[in-house]
Amino acid sequence: MAVPSWLERLRAAGKTALVQDGKRKIHYLFEDGKEMAEEYDIKTGQLISRKWREKNTLGGTGKWQVEVGEPTSPLLGALESELITESSSNPIFMRKDTLSSFQWRIRNLPYPKEVYSVSVEEEQRCCVVRTTNKKYYKKFSIPDLDRYHLPLDAAALSFTHANNTLIITYQKPKEILAAEEQLQKELKKIKAANSGDGDCKTQ
């Protein structure tokens, strides 16, 4: 059975916990050198952000790649801020999960709901957003399903549109809900380090 394999990787990883600003921050260091940093809401247990980092080809530390949460860095320079302001009308794609579903938000899409279609490409293991006016096209995967070796289910996919934002929802399969519940129990057992912990400063 595939589900325990990802859980076993998480269990085997070196973990550091930090509680700060109402969030439980967990830093994972895997055997292959990859790092994963997650933030959970302490009260609800909901995942707020997840990002990955791995060594680059020269053996140095690479940049964090955001999987869940706000895509922009909080450490923006003035020039970068200006560039972002100039392109603020461009669609912004981000993932923001709930306890029961994976969820993506695409901001700055002003077209009415009937213009959009969201489908599952089973062979390519991805979801695709299309518009009948051909103004927007987006293909994205669900890494969680890949890690648990689970198939994509078109029936689990739905979408809505409000305030110029397309909201795409994929209901989490029962296997992932069970695994996440088990993981939460284990993460709560990790004693939180103080705010001066070196590993957590990388988050």
Q: 133-139: long-range contacts at Cβ-Cβ below 8 A with a sequence spacing of 24 or more?
A: 135/111, 136/91, 136/106, 136/109, 136/111, 138/91, 138/93, 138/106
Q: State whether residue 63 is helix, strand or coil.
A: coil
* Residue 58 in tokens: 């020269």
CA distance 99 to 102: 8
Cβ count within 10 A of residue 75: 6
pTM of the model: 0.82
Q: Output the pLDDT for position 51.
A: 96
Domain ranges of the chain: 8-70+89-188
Beta bridge partners of 140: 127
Q: Output the pLDDT for position 138.
A: 97
Cβ count within 10 A of residue 24: 20
DSSP letters spanning 88-150:
TTS-EEEE---SSEEEEEEES--S-GGGEEEEEETTTTEEEEEETTSS-EEEE--HHHHHTT-
Which candidate, 148, 149, 117, places its Cα nearest to that of 132?
A: 117
Helix (H) or strand (E) holding 23: strand 23-29
* Residue 151 in tokens: 């198939």
pLDDT in tens, 63-118: 899 999 987 554 444 445 555 554 568 999 999 999 999 999 999 999 999 999 99
pLDDT in tens, 144-185: 999 999 999 999 999 999 999 999 999 999 999 999 999 998
Residues 6 or more apart whose CB falls under 8 angstroms from that of 2 comprise 148, 149, 150
- Class of the 8-70+89-188 domain? mainly beta
Q: State whether residue 134 is helix, strand or coil.
A: coil
CA distance 202 to 8: 24
CA 171-20-92 angle, to 5 degrees, is 45
The band of 3, judged by pLDDT with boundaries at 50, 70 and 90, is very low
